Chain A
């Protein structure tokens, strides 16, 4: 089972939309996918119309005391399941802190189902915390959405520095993709063209445009590719998957 996490220190950069759309596209392409909504706000769960609750809460889940099989929910889409968010995830840091081998806990939580899925996608809460540390440890590819503004890129650079200091970059592929790109703005165009990622990270060619179609996900409660497959963001997410998949060792032909 490969793992992909969408992560950003800042909120509102398109993390969840990216996680949801990539997970859906991967499942449409034949992968068995599990999306774990780690954000206590439960946006990914909302998109899939699944109640953000996990029986026993985050506490039992990460301690391996829950029957994981009974917590997973099938989405409306074939080959795509969700491990929902739960409000108790807001305490996940504290919960993890109280466990042994706390940084390995998250990866271990999915151990019982690792043969059932080709890909696990973590939709992470925006923060630097024990949970994100655990995600960095558990994941193969860290996909970092960034808005093409100086401040947003500053946080990306901080993240990469932090990962480098923790020695995480040896095993983790860090990919930066620009989201909410407004091509009418020169600043956006210039940054997308000219920004060079810090050593240890890669800048992806695909960018996700700012689009009301993505905002409409909240009304349609489905991935963009379901209700607006021919729109620019739907195409962009497909291209993004094609670019990311090889880093996961997943063939896209």
Chain B
């Protein structure tokens, strides 16, 4: 791969006119007609591009001409991609350029690209020329305002972009030296996007959410409340994304937060006020149930390409009626979820969550409320883990599937406990145990999924028939898929013994006991 031409940003209080005057004294330049341009930066809701040190922006000239979609390395500023575009894509699939899609897709996954901020700038380009009047370096002067999504705006500092022209590195360095030494202009280490977010008062907008750090000696009631506050925040943050159906991860993240809250309240009992806890658990269960069908449909649609690939190529289009069915019903379920989120019951549930988390219920905390969270969590973790050992140890070749499903639920409980409380122990000790548990969970999860999917396919086939959109070829395709899923389920079942064996080696068991048997 060719190295991309270098680029550097300088920040200055000099005006563009002053800078131009100074540059003309030293170099032969050509100044382009000033133009206006807007730049909109975008990232996923969870800042995946930022996490990968990438910046995505759409530059649009004011004259209505097509703009450029660019992707840059956030720290060096080097351009990785630049393609013509009129709009910011919602998803990588929306980009016309294949090479661009191939770069964006792994970074962004299934998340939607959301605009973060827009800058309206006056751009003056100064081209530094050689003896043939060839451009050997570019200086782009920018000034203007930046606007956030909720309408706040701020002044944009004058920035200088120095851009190398490929094949002229020495000229680039010379201009850079002139700016720093002669004009005493400082290089700006931060990216434009960071500057934009800072100007808008939201410098941490893309930072990952900090994990709640619990202290082992903290009172259990206080620790649990802090966790509940955090989980509720996550639900609130994701609600709008669900309502507007921006992408499927908003609902997923909302449900994960609700599930964790439920798990917390049901597994660590006698800490918070019992009646309020019980009521909230009931309401959280309702939220899970109200959002379940939509999530199921999302998962089916996400898995559909994989399912298609299970079929011989000439039969893949036979699943088109399935896709139509899923989309039709998804629209209905989405409407139902939005109704649920807008309902008084939901508002009341969140209100109850707030009161419990902020210690505003009239009931007293439970008998274990004042205990230290470290030892309490350790006991719960050990208990959950022992249950897995016991139940899993009883599973033999001929044991019914329900035993594995039940073990999976036990595994989930342990997993949530480790996610919520594992931070109190050294990462290097907890990580291998979580990893081993994940392997077991993956096996049990796949086993369950294969079964559930088979049931679902039958249900879907019946639904398609009821809707009057069930050609024989589609039904046959579903039948084929069902057989493939059955094979998959049997395969996972056969793998269980070995995987469970690896989870329960003497070394593993000793490690667990050692870690959670001692104080955090």
Which chain A residues have a beta carbon within 8 Å of chain B's beta carbons?
Answer: 29-30, 48-51, 69-74, 76, 78-79, 81, 113, 115-116, 118, 221
Q: Indicate if B151 sits at the interface (CB-CB under 8 A).
A: no
Q: Is the CB of A50 within 8 A of B134?
A: yes
Residue among B1, B127, B165, B167 having the largest count of chain A Cβ atoms under 10 Å: B167
Q: B82 touching A79 by the CB < 8 A rule?
A: yes
Q: Known contacts A69-B3, A72-B2, A113-B2; is A81 also within 8 Å of B132 by CB?
A: no
Q: Enumerate chain A residues within 8 angstroms of B97, measured Cβ to Cβ.
A: 30
| B166 interface hit (Cβ, 8 Å) | yes
CA distance A48 to B83 in the complex (A): 22
> Shortest distance in angstroms between A114's beta carbon and chain B's nearest beta carbon?
10
Q: Chain B CB within 10 Å — which of A48, A71, A74, A115 has the most? A: A74
Interface SS of A by simple majority: loop
Cβ-based interface call for B274 (8 A): no
Please state if B165 and A49 are interface contacts (CB–CB under 8 Å). Answer: no
A155 to B168 Cα, complex, angstroms? 41
29 contacts between A and B (CB under 8 A): A30-B83, A30-B96, A30-B97, A48-B134, A49-B133, A50-B132, A50-B134, A69-B2, A69-B3, A72-B2, A72-B166, A72-B167, A73-B165, A73-B167, A73-B168, A74-B5, A74-B165, A74-B166, A74-B167, A74-B168, A76-B127, A76-B134, A76-B135, A78-B82, A79-B82, A81-B166, A113-B2, A116-B2, A118-B99
List B485-517 residues whose CB lies under 8 Å from chain A: none
Closest to B85 in A: A30
- A84 nearest CB across to chain B (Å): 9
Contacts of B96 in A (CB 8 A): 30
Cβ of A53 to closest chain B Cβ, rounded Å: 11
Q: How far is the CA of A115 from the CA of B1 in the complex (A)?
A: 7
From A49, A113, A115, contact of B132 by CB (8 A) = A49
Chain A residues lying within 8 Å of B165, measured Cβ to Cβ, are 73-74
Q: Which residues of A contact B167 (CB under 8 A)?
A: 70-74, 81
Interface of chain B residues 76 through 98 with chain A (CB within 8 A): 82-84, 96-97
Closest B residue to A76 using CB positions: B135
Is there an interface contact between A116 and B1, defined as CB atoms closer than 8 Å? yes
Which of the four size classes fits the interface of chain B?
A: 10 to 19
Provide the residues of chain B in CB contact with A76, threshold 8 Å.
127, 134-135
Query: Cβ of B132 and Cβ of A51 under 8 Å apart?
Result: yes
Residue numbers in B under 8 Å from A30 (CB-CB):
83-84, 96-97
Contacting A at CB under 8 A, from B163-181, are 165-168
B234 to nearest A CB, angstroms?
A: 40
B residues near A (Cβ < 8 Å) are: 1-3, 5, 82-84, 96-97, 99, 127, 132-135, 165-168
Rounded to whole Å, the gap between the CB of B220 and the closest CB of chain A is 57
- B4: nearest residue on chain A (CB-CB)? A116
In the bound assembly, the distance between CA atoms of A78 and B135 in angstroms comes to 12
**Whole-angstrom distance between the alpha carbons of A68 and B83 in the complex?**
24
CA A116 – CA B5 in complex, angstroms?
13
Q: Is the CB of B166 within 8 A of A73?
A: yes
* CB closest residue in chain A, given B134: A49
Residues of chain B within 8 A (CB-CB) of A74 are 5, 165-168
What is the CA–CA distance of A29 and B167 in the complex, to the nearest angstrom? 23
Chain A nearest CB from B100 CB (Å) reads 10
CA of A81 to CA of B1 in the docked complex: distance in angstroms? 15
CA distance A112 to B84 in the complex (A): 25
CB-CB nearest in chain B for A118: B99
The 8 closest A-B pairs by CB, nearest first: A73-B167, A74-B166, A49-B134, A74-B165, A49-B132, A116-B2, A76-B135, A30-B84
Chain A residues, CB < 8 A from B99? 118
Residues of B within 8 A of A79 (CB): 82
Cα-based distance from A118 to B100 in the complex (angstroms)? 12
What is the minimal beta-carbon distance from B63 to any residue of chain A, in angstroms? 14
Q: Which residues of B contact A71 (CB under 8 A)?
A: 167
In the bound assembly, the distance between CA atoms of A116 and B81 in angstroms comes to 11
- In the complex, the chain A residue whose C-beta lies closest to that of B97 is A30
From A71, which residue of chain B is reached at the shortest CB distance?
B167
Q: For A221, what are the chain B residues with a Cβ–Cβ distance below 8 Å?
A: 133
- Complex alpha-carbon distance, A69 and B169, angstroms: 12
**In whole angstroms, what is the CA distance A74 to B7 when docked?**
14
Nearest-neighbour CB distance to chain B for A196, whole angstroms, equals 37
Enumerate chain A residues within 8 angstroms of B2, measured Cβ to Cβ.
69, 72, 113, 116
Looking across the interface, which residue of chain A has its beta carbon closest to that of B133? A49
A221 vs B135: C-alpha distance in the bound complex, in angstroms? Answer: 13
Q: In the assembly, what is the distance between CA of A221 and CA of B96, in Å?
A: 32
A-B contact sample (14 more), CB < 8 A, given A71-B167, A74-B166, A118-B99 = A29-B84, A30-B96, A48-B134, A50-B132, A69-B2, A69-B3, A72-B166, A73-B165, A73-B166, A74-B165, A81-B166, A113-B2, A115-B1, A221-B133
Q: How far is the CA of A52 from the CA of B2 in the complex (A)?
A: 21
In the bound complex, what is the Cα–Cα distance between A76 and B165 (angstroms)? 8
Q: Which residues of A contact B134 (CB under 8 A)?
A: 48-50, 76
Q: Which residue of B lies closest to A251 (CB)?
A: B96
Nearest Cβ distance between residue A35 and chain B, in whole angstroms? 13
Q: Which residue of A lies closest to B132 (CB)?
A: A49
- Closest Cβ of chain A to B27, distance in Å, is 16
